[in-house]
Amino acid sequence: MQSDTPTDEQHRAIQAIDAWYKDDGAQQVFWLAGEAGTGKTKTTAFALEHLLDRRRLTDYVVGAPTGKAAQVLRQKGIEGAATLHSLLYAPRKDGDSGELFFARRSDGPVADADLIVCDEGSMIGDDLARDLMRTGKKILVIADDYQLPPVSGQGLFTSGEPDFRLTEPHRTARESPVIRLAHLLRRQEMPRRFGSVGKVHVLPLEHRTQSLVMRPSSQAICGTHRVRTTYTKRMRKLLGHESTMPQTGERVICRRNQKDEGLYNGMIGALTRPAAEAQGRDAGLWSLGVQMEDEVRSRGKLIVHPWMFQAHYTEGMVQPRVGKDIQLYDWAWLITCHASQGSEFPSVTVVDDSGAFREHRWRWLYTAVTRSREELVLLLRNADLGGPWQVPAFDDCLPG
């Protein structure tokens, strides 16, 4: 476990943040950088405690780009973490059409805050970054600059040099084969050979290793929707699911934030019953029973639009217009690396699609690998690392 006392490097980071915060003439944004395992979240918590105690910081908000990322922050002890979207925007109704849209809010937590803390800053698109800066508040950005850039824009908060970079991995990270592999990939280097170290397995993606992708207990991550669809259909067939509707036990992912319902984009769960066609005013939608991860009680009736499920079986399907009050879900047997950002899983299986990301190839691999907390299977395409290796034995592999 990490100490409750800052390390020398963390102390220097706290002092740098303190000097920035108390200087009225300092730039609006302070970027605290650090690769996986360097204790960015813990350092942020130390810095907030210091500002509350020494600088009379009274109100601050902590936000992340996705609901899942905010949930991870709360699990790490950052209470009150929310999505940046919910902190910054509020739903409004168009007076003519009656449709809901989101507008920047002039009240709420951000209006009363002296400081905005943005975690997973590498995921924040340029438009959202500009809206955050328009608040006029000081912004503390926490970001690993080697993760994939945001889908929209180049990353306004992380395009320059960080104000302070954490470089020393904490003790637990130094002992982790996952973190050691991540640091190797960050240097744009591959392991010297295929093989296994503890619970980390680096293997070629070939016929003998295909079954490792289809393990219900491991979260598989890929890079493209084509690969995701191919493996999802193959896995469902192996599980005996002939219906194109989700069935009991299948892994699903929430794809839309609904704060009032406690649902956030990126949350994963499993179906407690087969999906059913909704009736009455919800005709055309599907009803799901879902046990979400980290929730005690299952949700007996979630009404969702079916198009994300249907797209796996309907080639060229065009995304329909879905009202903002209707929930979206999809299968989560495989998720893309972009969708996984901000999340952590006990076990991860990475299908190497890094070649599709060209200049961001190494960033893609690094981001995918660092989603694992403990167990990792990295299946590399077109790599000839050599060395003796064997397929690790797992109890839940489906025949490939």
What residues have CB less than 8 Å from 43, skipping those under 6 apart? 6, 10, 13, 14, 32, 34, 166
The residue out of 285, 316, 331 marking a domain boundary is 331
pLDDT in tens, 318-335: 888 888 788 999 999 999
Per-residue pLDDT, averaged over 39-48, amounts to: 93
Question: Is it the case that residue 98 has pLDDT exceeding 60?
Answer: no
The residue out of 331, 360, 392 marking a domain boundary is 331
Q: How many domains does the chain have?
A: 2
Per-residue pLDDT, averaged over 2-9, amounts to: 81
Do 146 and 274 share a structural domain?
Answer: no
Do 164 and 23 share a structural domain?
Answer: yes
Q: What pLDDT score does 103 carry?
A: 63
- Asked whether residue 150 is domain-assigned, the answer is yes
- Asked whether residue 190 is domain-assigned, the answer is no
- Asked whether residue 146 is domain-assigned, the answer is yes
Per-residue pLDDT, averaged over 169-175, amounts to: 77
Do 140 and 32 share a structural domain?
Answer: yes
Q: What pLDDT score does 124 carry?
A: 87
Do 56 and 139 share a structural domain?
Answer: yes
The residue out of 331, 364, 387 marking a domain boundary is 331
> Is residue 362 within 8 Å of residue 380, measured between CB atoms?
no
What residues have CB less than 8 Å from 371, skipping those under 6 apart? 219, 221, 337, 340, 343, 344, 345, 348
Do 23 and 160 share a structural domain?
Answer: yes
Supply the Cα-derived Rg of the chain in whole angstroms: 22
How far is Cα 123 from Cα 104, in angstroms, rounded to an integer? Answer: 19
- Residue 252: band (very low, low, confident or very high) from pLDDT cuts 50, 70, 90: very high
> For residue 145, what are the domain limits?
8-169
- Asked whether residue 37 is domain-assigned, the answer is yes
Strands (E), the chain: 29-34, 60-64, 82-83, 89-93, 100-104, 115-118, 138-143, 164-166, 195-197, 200-204, 219-222, 251-254, 268-271, 276-277, 286-292, 299-305, 327-331, 334-336, 345-351, 372-380
Do 135 and 27 share a structural domain?
Answer: yes
% pLDDT > 70, the chain: 93
Per-residue pLDDT, averaged over 340-354, amounts to: 93
- Residue 170: band (very low, low, confident or very high) from pLDDT cuts 50, 70, 90: confident
- Asked whether residue 395 is domain-assigned, the answer is no
Report which of 258, 240, 254, 346 is spatially closest to residue 291, judged by C-alpha positions: 254
Q: Return the DSSP state at 257.
A: -
Q: What pLDDT score does 151 carry?
A: 65
CATH number of the domain that residue 53 is part of: 3.40.50.300
* Global confidence as pTM: 0.85
- Asked whether residue 125 is domain-assigned, the answer is yes
Per-residue pLDDT, averaged over 116-140, amounts to: 91
- Residue 72: band (very low, low, confident or very high) from pLDDT cuts 50, 70, 90: confident
Do 108 and 256 share a structural domain?
Answer: no
Do 129 and 18 share a structural domain?
Answer: yes
- Asked whether residue 377 is domain-assigned, the answer is no
Q: What pLDDT score does 193 carry?
A: 94
Q: What pLDDT score does 102 carry?
A: 62
Do 14 and 150 share a structural domain?
Answer: yes
- Asked whether residue 353 is domain-assigned, the answer is no
- Measured in residues, the chain has a length of 400
1, burial (CB in 10 Å: exposed 0-12, middle 13-18, buried 19+): exposed
Query: What are the phi and psi torsion angles at 147 (to 5°)?
Result: -75, 170
